[in-house]
Amino acid sequence: MNFPKPEEVIPHRTPFVFLTEVTKLDAPKSAEGYWQLSENEDFFAGHFPDFPTLPGVLMCESIAQLGAYTLLSDKNFDGLLPMFGGIDKVRFRRRVAPGERLDLSVELSRISARGGKGSGQASVNGELACSCDLMFVFATV
């Protein structure tokens, strides 16, 4: 099944879109997708010059963007913007290098009119790279 492109659902724009495609969606509960890294992202030049590595915080952001896509695909959340309220239990398990595909999954729970919680994972070739619990609040746009 083909889902709308991330830029058609979430408000993020280049250079801050860290979600390439959504592959599975059960709005507003869960989703799967991926971020296909190229070898040209600017952050790789400085993180680190001789050992380019995806910054861990960007892995968390890519999971959060998938979570935002999941929520904003439900008409009940029109006019709202989910924003980070916190991140807990973050673990980085594997280095992610230029050119790799970061497979993402997110499950949202405890969604209310004010915000909610969820958890997500990022992996490469089935190997866990990052896991985290997310908290979000809604802003009115």
Cis peptide before 15 (omega within 30 of 0): yes
φ, ψ dihedrals at 125, nearest 5°: 50, 40
Contact indicator for 138, 114 with CB cutoff of 8 Å: yes
**Quick one: which of 7, 123, 141, 130 has its CA closest to 65?**
7
Options 47, 80, 84, 115, the catalytic residue: 47
- Alpha carbon distance 37, 1 (integer Å): 22
47 is catalytic: yes
Annotated active-site positions, please? Answer: 47
